[in-house]
Amino acid sequence: MIKNVKKLLIKAYSIRHNLDVNEFIDGYMIFLNNILNDIWQAIEWKKKGKRLIPLIRKDKFFRKEIRNKYIIKWIYSKHYIDSAIKQAYSIINS
């Protein structure tokens, strides 16, 4: 028998809005593709034997440069740009 089990209460809400979600998703995808392109163009290729090894730029300065480039054009919350950058790096790394 399990003792001292805490109960977890989860609540879900539906909030009515008149926002165009498709416009948001389309905009996010455009920004994600542009960020992917920026990261891809910044890759330096190092030859190791017969193989080419990508050196993906991940420094804070480069990330901040990308963030600043797109944050001024983004009308929604800023954390979505941060999410797109994180997602772009995940895609490139895979």
DSSP the chain: ---SPPP-------------HHHHHHHHHHHHHHHHHHHHHT-EEEEETTEEEEE----HHHHHHHHHHHHTT--S-THHHHHHHHHHHHHHH-
Which amino acid type is present at position 37?
A: N
Count of structural domains, the chain: 1
pLDDT for position 2:
61
In a domain, 89, yes or no: yes
pLDDT for position 6:
75
Q: Is the confidence at residue 94, as pLDDT, over 80?
A: yes
Give pLDDT tens digits for 9-53: 888 888 888 878 899 999 999 999 999 999 999 999 999 999 999
In a domain, 15, yes or no: no
Range of the domain at 85: 21-93
Q: Which has more confidence, 7 or 40?
A: 40
In a domain, 40, yes or no: yes
pLDDT for position 80:
94
In a domain, 14, yes or no: no
In a domain, 45, yes or no: yes
In a domain, 4, yes or no: no
pLDDT for position 11:
84
pLDDT for position 15:
84
pLDDT for position 1:
56
In a domain, 7, yes or no: no
In a domain, 6, yes or no: no
